Every structure is written in C-alpha cells, then in structure tokens.
Amino acid sequence: MTYAQIDTNLRRGGEIFIYSLWIQSQMTDLIILNDHPRIIRKFVDYPKTIPPTLRNNRMKYWRKSFGYIKKEFIKRFNNSLSDQALQDLNTVYFIRNAIGHSYVSLARHYFLYRPDSRRKLIAFKKSFDVVNQSADAAKPIVFKFDFSNDEIYIHNYDAIKRLDEVHLRTLAVALNIPHSRIR
C-alpha cells in the first residue's frame, strides 16, 4: 500500500459517488418530464428558466433515495430499457450505496462495505460477479472496494458512462429533449 494508492482510491471513489448522484438527477428529470409532457417545450425553448412544475418536483425527489428513484424510473421506462441498461443501472445503484455506506479510512487504499440484508447481499454479489470466498472470509460477508485498482474503477465508470451517453440520452431524445438539457 502506498499513499498514492490511498489518494487514488479516495479521489476515484468520490468521483464515482458524485457521478452516481448526477445519474440520479438525470433520472429524476426524465421521470418528471415524462409525467408532465406539457412543460417539455418550455423547458427546451427557455433554458434559463426552469418551469415551476419541474422545480417543485425536483425538490420532492431530492428527499428520495436512489433506490426509490430507480424504482420509479424503471416503472416509467421499463419497456425502453435494454438488459444492458438495467445491468448498468443496478451497478450504479449498488456502488453508490456501497460507497455511501462504507467504512472509510484515510490510512487504507480501499473501502469496506457490508449489505444490511440477505436480499441485498445476493443482489450485490450477482451484480458484481462475486464468487469464491476464502475460507477465512468475514462472516457476514464484507466487500472491499479498491478504486486504485484500474479494473474496478473502469468497470464502474463504464457503467455510468453508458447510462449517460447511451441509455439516458436515448430516453431524453425519445421525449424530444436534447440530452444536454438534463445533463
């Protein structure tokens, strides 16, 4: 372990976390605009003014969890989401929660996370292809995330990038909203 690894892990973990919040914001705007199509034209044509319906609903959604927003998003757009989109959404959901509920130390180059239920543990393991535990593994299972490891960082970054540049962009365009307006 080096200080460079610690620094890289913290910076990349923070970046992934902030990007997950950004994805959540885009999903929120798509939900609201899908539910209130009459405000889309005004939203698109007058970028300096946020329609009151959008502003007020954004504030309501700010109080909601990523999990709640994810469920509402899937409810509205399920028919338009590919298997890859759902997989990417789950990856972002799980890593966002893992980072947000991790044990973090400035003396370690990794985060530690333990899901709080068996259901979440099974879903988390499935999403991240967790297999083969060592005989001396923690019980209950504790996951270690080392974002200084390029493979782990890139896996999560790529899921965010696809959600933004492919899946959310496609949904925005289908609603006649330039993707740049919700980014």
Helix-strand-coil percent breakdown of the chain, rounded to 5?
Answer: 70, 5, 30
pLDDT band at residue 132 using 50, 70 and 90 as cut-offs = very low
Residue-level pLDDT at 131 = 44
- For residues 9 and 96, what is the distance between their CA atoms, to the nearest angstrom? 15
Tell me the residue type at 41: R
Cα–Cα distance between 27 and 9 in angstroms, integer?
Answer: 27
Structure tokens at 68: 């709640």
Q: What is the pLDDT of residue 136?
A: 60
Q: Grade residue 172 by pLDDT with cuts at 50, 70 and 90.
A: very high
pLDDT tens for 63-98 read 999 999 999 999 999 999 999 999 999 999 999 998
pLDDT range class, residue 30, cuts 50, 70, 90: very high
Looking at residue 133, its pLDDT comes to 53
Burial 147-176 (b: 16+ CB within 10 A, else e): bbbeebbeebbebbebbbeebbbbbbeebe
Residue 139's pLDDT is what?
A: 67
